[in-house]
């Protein structure tokens, strides 16, 4: 039931008295209104902005947050108001929904923020009013496409499991930028397509005369050379086609795709020509087949994205093109008929029949005006001018639609490319921020340990080395520390190569972490191939350098820290270490050069 109509329920019930005298049976009892509260104003404080409304207004929609008892969770006893820590701008729309029964979508609002708010208040976006629903759906679709785009490119870049030979080849065909071999292949095929097209064109150019006969086109003069070129190109194309046939995951779908059909059509004429004998009748058809060689130029669409976009645009504007064609046909027939009858009177007129007038009409409507057919009578000229004026209109109408479609798709593509380029920078920035926070943890841990060590050793100096951390930070750090204690490992900054010690010992020592990190970074930069074993052997030297810079405190362990992602590999390592060096690692004074 709509919102305001709920207020008319008393009226509808009262009007039911009209049925009473006619009723044959007794009426059921009216439901008793148990909680007969006086309608009161309730205050909703959303991030400081106070909204007030009647309680009954909110209760119109009992399956939302504000209409149900769920809002009691947000009730603030001290100020006797409901406090929500959310965006007040969007709340305005939400509250208007209760008041008017219509949910509107403000255009300036970000679509995902709006969705989040709606989800929070338990309102389904489907009830957005007609005035705003289209806009909402459009923006949502755009956003979804964008996210899907991002996900796709992510998946493409990050899926580096070992692919089969076939799969690598398919990927190489689809994205030439994945490997140098693919790039080479891409350029070679492009070159040969160009060569083939130019050959076809030059073949027909008249090439000077052989004495004693008329001018010959180049193709016949140097027929052997051209034949060789053609053969070479077709070889390359055939090999390419066979490779493409072998690679795709779904051959059936590939065979049906447009590009594969173009490939086949491009190389077929040559083979048919080989098979064909020099029969007179058949060679006429064979010549026609040569026309299909020009389709090789379409193979360029694999190399040019703009061409693909153009093709896609034409496909998506099929209805507009169809309309254009239909209206043109209608107009042509009308005007051709009129012109034919108008010009019937004049002598020696070229408008011999209506189909003959078609040519005049087309030439006039597209404003070509060859002038080979011209009306001579006055009526003919009048109708001819009307024809040309209307031609301009009919053709000009669907064209902007096609253009705008093309522009939209093209810009979308450009945006996708731009986003991909920016993505790398964005991810790098995010990574830096993340390491910053983990650095903060290690920093605080160091300070914490230092304080512990200080307490143990009893030196009064350097007490206030640690910065005061916020409550949330300290709780977060405590959490990470608990994790460390649970697993028996501890965190390392960006260096999986260093040894992991079981940190069962109370007296954690730390070393000058900055130097430690520096050294570890350096060595990790040098020594980080994909394998891990060489790193083990480099440890002795490593730990020597690191441990030589120990602070003057008491016994210590090289404190190794790990990023959480490498924890698994490090656990593996740690078992190796523990097995390798059980006793020394568990004592408080391990020899620093113990190989781990």
* Residue 127 engages another protein in binding (rule: CB under 8 A): no
Distance CA 364, CA 370 (A): 8
- Of 310, 314, 335, 323, nearest to 397 (Cα)? 323
* Residue 41 engages another protein in binding (rule: CB under 8 A): no
- For 162, the 3-state DSSP assignment is coil
Smaller CB distance to another protein: residue 7 or 147? 7
Count residues near another protein (CB under 8 A): 46
Query: Min. distance of Cβ 135 from another protein in angstroms?
Result: 25
Do the bridges between strand 81-84 and strand 41-46 make them parallel or antiparallel, or are there none, so unpaired? parallel
* Residue 21 engages another protein in binding (rule: CB under 8 A): yes
Distance CA 531, CA 569 (A): 11
Query: Min. distance of Cβ 100 from another protein in angstroms?
Result: 8
Burial 172-210 (b: 16+ CB within 10 A, else e): bbeebeeeeebeebbeebbebbebbbebbeebeeebeee
**DSSP H helical segments within 121-257, as ranges?**
130-158, 165-174, 180-203, 218-221, 223-246, 251-256
* Residue 38 engages another protein in binding (rule: CB under 8 A): yes
* Residue 383 engages another protein in binding (rule: CB under 8 A): yes
DSSP labels for 314-364? Answer: HHHTHHHHHHHHHHHHHHHHHHHHHHHHHHTSSTT-S--SHHHHHHHHHHH
- For 46, the 3-state DSSP assignment is strand
Burial 511-542 (b: 16+ CB within 10 A, else e): bebeebbebbeebbeeeeeeeeeebbeebeeb
Of 22-30, 357-365, 440-448, 508-516, which segment contacts another protein by CB under 8 A? 22-30
Please pick, from the candidates 144, 201, 210, 378, the single residue that binds another protein as defined by CB under 8 A: 378
Smaller CB distance to another protein: residue 26 or 436? 26
Of 5-13, 163-171, 307-315, 585-593, which segment contacts another protein by CB under 8 A? 5-13
* Residue 207 engages another protein in binding (rule: CB under 8 A): no
Q: Residues 334-363 vs another protein: string with x where CB under 8 A?
A: -------xx-xxx-----------------
Please pick, from the candidates 34, 35, 37, 39, the single residue that binds another protein as defined by CB under 8 A: 39
DSSP labels for 481-497? Answer: HHHHHHHT----SS-TT
Distance CA 62, CA 125 (A): 16
Please pick, from the candidates 131, 198, 291, 386, the single residue that binds another protein as defined by CB under 8 A: 386
* Residue 22 engages another protein in binding (rule: CB under 8 A): yes
Half-sphere exposure at residue 266, Cβ-oriented, CA atoms within 13 angstroms: 28
Distance CA 531, CA 297 (A): 48
* Residue 20 engages another protein in binding (rule: CB under 8 A): yes
* Residue 131 engages another protein in binding (rule: CB under 8 A): no
* Residue 23 engages another protein in binding (rule: CB under 8 A): yes
Query: Min. distance of Cβ 262 from another protein in angstroms?
Result: 48
Tell me how far CA of residue 85 lies from CA of 48, 146, 226, 470, in angstroms: 9, 29, 78, 21
Smaller CB distance to another protein: residue 60 or 550? 60
Of 254-262, 310-318, 378-386, 483-491, which segment contacts another protein by CB under 8 A? 378-386
* Residue 1 engages another protein in binding (rule: CB under 8 A): yes
* Residue 30 engages another protein in binding (rule: CB under 8 A): yes
* Residue 382 engages another protein in binding (rule: CB under 8 A): yes
* Residue 55 engages another protein in binding (rule: CB under 8 A): no
Q: Do 185 and 179 meet the contact criterion of CB atoms below 8 Å apart?
A: no
* Residue 52 engages another protein in binding (rule: CB under 8 A): no
* Residue 421 engages another protein in binding (rule: CB under 8 A): no
Residue with tokens 């790398």, as numbered in its chain: 424
What number of other Cβ atoms are within 10 A of residue 131's Cβ?
Answer: 10
Within residues 57-96, the interface with another protein by CB under 8 A covers none
* Residue 106 engages another protein in binding (rule: CB under 8 A): no
Q: Give contact residues for another protein (rule: CB under 8 A).
A: 1-27, 29-30, 33, 38-39, 54, 99-100, 341-342, 344-346, 377-379, 382-383, 386
């Amino acid at each position: 039931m709509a919102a305001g109509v709920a207020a008319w329920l008393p009226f509808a019930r009262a009007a039911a008295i009209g049925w009473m005298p006619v009723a044959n049976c007794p009426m059921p009892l009216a439901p008793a209104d148990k909680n007969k509260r006086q309608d009161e104003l309730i205050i909703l404080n959303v991030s400081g902005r106070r909204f007030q409304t009647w309680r009954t207004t909110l209760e119109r929609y009992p399956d939302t947050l504000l209409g149900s008892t769920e809002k009691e969770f947000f009730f603030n006893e001290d100020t006797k108001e409901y406090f929500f820590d959310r965006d007040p701008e969007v709340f305005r729309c939400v509250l208007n929904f209760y008041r008017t029964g219509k949910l509107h979508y403000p255009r300036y609002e970000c679509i995902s923020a709006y969705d989040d708010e709606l989800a929070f208040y338990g309102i389904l976006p489907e009830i957005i009013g007609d005035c705003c629903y289209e806009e909402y759906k459009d923006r949502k679709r755009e956003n979804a496409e964008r996210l899907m785009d991002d996900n796709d490119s992510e998946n493409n870049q990050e899926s580096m499991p070992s692919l089969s030979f076939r799969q690598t080849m398919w990927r190489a065909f689809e994205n030439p930028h994945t490997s140098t071999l693919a790039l080479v292949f891409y350029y070679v095929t492009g070159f040969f397509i160009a060569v083939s097209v130019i050959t076809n064109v030059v073949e027909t150019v008249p090439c000077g005369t052989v004495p004693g006969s008329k001018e010959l086109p180049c193709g016949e003069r140097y027929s052997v050379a051209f034949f060789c070129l053609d053969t070479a190109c077709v070889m390359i194309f055939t090999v390419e086609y066979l490779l493409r046939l072998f690679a795709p995951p779904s051959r059936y779908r590939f065979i049906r795709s447009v590009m594969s059909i173009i490939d086949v059509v491009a190389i077929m004429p040559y083979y048919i020509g080989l098979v064909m004998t020099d029969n007179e009748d058949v060679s006429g058809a064979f010549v026609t087949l040569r026309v299909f060689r020009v389709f090789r130029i379409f193979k360029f669409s694999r190399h040019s994205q703009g061409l693909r976009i153009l093709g896609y645009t034409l496909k998506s504007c099929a209805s507009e093109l169809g309309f254009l064609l239909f209206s043109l046909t209608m107009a042509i027939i009308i005007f051709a008929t009129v012109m034919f009858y108008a010009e019937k009177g004049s002598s020696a007129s070229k408008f011999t029949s209506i189909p003959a007038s078609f040519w005049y009409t087309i030439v006039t409507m597209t404003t070509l005006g060859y002038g080979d057919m011209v009306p001579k009578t006055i009526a003919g000229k009048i109708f001819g001018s009307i024809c040309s004026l209307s031609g301009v209109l009919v053709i000009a109408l669907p064209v902007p639609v096609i253009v705008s479609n093309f522009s939209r798709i093209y810009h979308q593509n450009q945006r996708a490319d731009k986003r991909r380029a920016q993505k790398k920078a964005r991810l790098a920035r995010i990574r830096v921020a993340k390491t910053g926070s983990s650095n903060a943890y290690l920093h605080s841990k160091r300070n914490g340990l230092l304080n512990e060590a200080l307490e143990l050793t009893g030196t009064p100096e350097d007490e206030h080395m640690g910065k005061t951390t916020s409550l949330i930070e300290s709780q977060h750090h405590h959490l990470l520390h608990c994790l460390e204690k649970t697993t028996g490992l501890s965190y390392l900054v960006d260096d999986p190569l260093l040894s992991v010690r079981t940190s069962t010992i109370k007296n954690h020592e730390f070393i000058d972490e900055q130097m430690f990190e520096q050294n570890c970074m350096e060595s990790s930069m040098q020594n980080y191939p994909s394998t891990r074993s060489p790193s083990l052997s480099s440890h002795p030297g490593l730990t020597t350098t690191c441990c030589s810079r120990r602070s003057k405190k008491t016994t210590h362990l090289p404190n190794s820290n790990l990023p959480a992602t490498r924890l698994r590999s490090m656990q593996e390592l740690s078992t190796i270490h523990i097995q390798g060096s059980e006793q020394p690692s568990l004592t408080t004074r391990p020899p620093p050069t113990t190989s781990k």
